[in-house]
A and B are shown apart, each in its own frame.
Chain A
Amino acid sequence: MPDPTFEALVERHSAEIYAYLWRLLGDPELASDCLQDTFLRALRAFPRLRHHEHLRAWLYTIAMHRARTLLRQRARHESRQRELTDELADPHASVGQRVAERETRRRVRAAVGRLPPRQREALILRRYQGLSYAEIAAIAGGTAAAARTNVHLAQERLRIWLRPEVGDAV
């Protein structure tokens, strides 16, 4: 079987890696920059790669590390998240509804942003990218059990932080 070429790799995995970065960074433009950064790094490392069985996990790992670096560099990250939340806004909602929805999204986004990186990454990989705990362990390092714990802790924290305030539930 011929080696999978890098172009095939781009076609096969770029949409999935982009979705991951979009969720992790909360900013379509920043996610797009990070996607380029990820694949350019992968391109340089690809010829030296000896094992081609775990390319998807390998790309996820590069993307995860690039995203961490970008998040550290972007102190203004919080203010840029508006773009993603606007993309999701329902155009048919009333002004009042839209304000309330935007506020909810802001709270959710801020809560997810408060999670320790490993928990945030594990939660997104498991719950939204659909990866198994073993796959998460291969990407992030550590064990499948640790990945499961990270997802569990992330959900537990989010449930506490996003608990409806008194009067909100009614």
Chain B
Amino acid sequence: MSRTKIVKAKDPMQAVDALYAAGPSGTTVAAAQSRLRAALRAQAPQVYYDVLPRSTLGAVYLAAGPDGLLAVGLATNEPGFVRRVARRTGAMPVRSTERLRHARQQVDEYLRGKRSAMQIDVDLSQVTPFQRAVLEAARRIPRGTVITYGEMAARLRRPRAGRAVGQALAHNPVPILVPCHRVVSSGGELRGYLGDRIGLKARLLKLEGVPMLGNRCRIAGRSGAGR
């Protein structure tokens, strides 16, 4: 009598599991991760940030890249500031007290009225040429004085560009350092600062000794507050 060997056929999926279930070895994963980290490091320029937690303007966030300070955040919070800097620079900023120590100290002293000028490199490479011209012009306005949007447009030899000047200043990435707060509307009225934070603009101007009357200030060379 012949004996029949009955073998239960294996589920073919077992062969698939044998190949796929275990996954890559720890060494293979570690090598791939190490290559990934190197690729990411090479890709992103390093940007650092820190915060001056309690200033007269509230928390002031500062971010700097290799070429200088590239963002100042007022009336914001840490995630909001980090997201904004990342969007603009394409690099995820890393918090570093050490790298921002110099800038933070100067901004702190300035806002406490203990310093009248700051020596901090500013990186304006991320803005358009017109905006850069406007921001550079704003940097030349001396502390304690204000000019109007129209006057700034005239200085830039674009007398009809008052509104565009206003827009360029409204998107100033480095307020305080580029003193866009020293530019006001024709009547001396403080219009627009980081949206509607007129109070911050007034505080900065007061700090710099600009005579204020409510939300109006005296424009150099004119008599009386406002009109």
Contacts and interface: CB of A to CB of B under 8 A. Distances in A.
A53 interface: no
Interface stretch (B85-93, B133-141, B174-182, B203-211): B85-93
B15 A108 contact: yes
A39 B36 contact: yes
Contacts of B86: 6, 46-47
B44 A112 contact: no
Contacts of A105: 19
Main secondary structure of the interface of A (DSSP, over half): helix
Contacts of B92: 5-7, 43, 46-47
B1 interface: no
A32 B29 CA distance: 9
Given A14-B33, A39-B36, A47 B20 contact: no
Interface string A129-170: 000000000000000000000000001001101111000011
Contact of B33 (A1, A18, A87, A158): A18
Contacts of B12: 158-159, 161-164
Contacts of B24: 18-19, 22, 28, 31, 87
Nearest to B28: A28
B214 interface: no
Contacts of A61: none
A32 B18 CA distance: 22
A164 B40 contact: no
Nearest to B79: A3
Contacts of A169: 7, 9-10
A2 B82 contact: yes
Interface string A80-105: 00000101100000000000000011
Contacts of B5: 170
A3 B7 contact: no
Given A15-B33, A87-B25, A158-B16, A44 B90 contact: yes
Interface in A21-54: 22-23, 28, 31-32, 35-36, 39-40, 43-44, 46-48
Interface string A58-93: 000000000000000000000000000101100000
Contacts of B39: 36, 39-40
Given A3-B79, A32-B31, A127 B36 contact: no
B29 A158 contact: no
Residue with the greatest number of chain A CB neighbours at <10 A, chosen from B22, B25, B33, B78: B33
A2 B79 CA distance: 5
A43 B43 CA distance: 9
Given A6-B92, A22-B23, A40-B40, A32 B16 contact: no
A23 to B, nearest CB: 5
B208 to A, nearest CB: 33
Nearest to A31: B32
B11 interface: yes
B102 interface: no
A159 B13 contact: yes
Contact of A159 (B11, B17, B32, B40): B11
B32 A104 contact: no
A47 B43 CA distance: 15
B19 A88 contact: yes
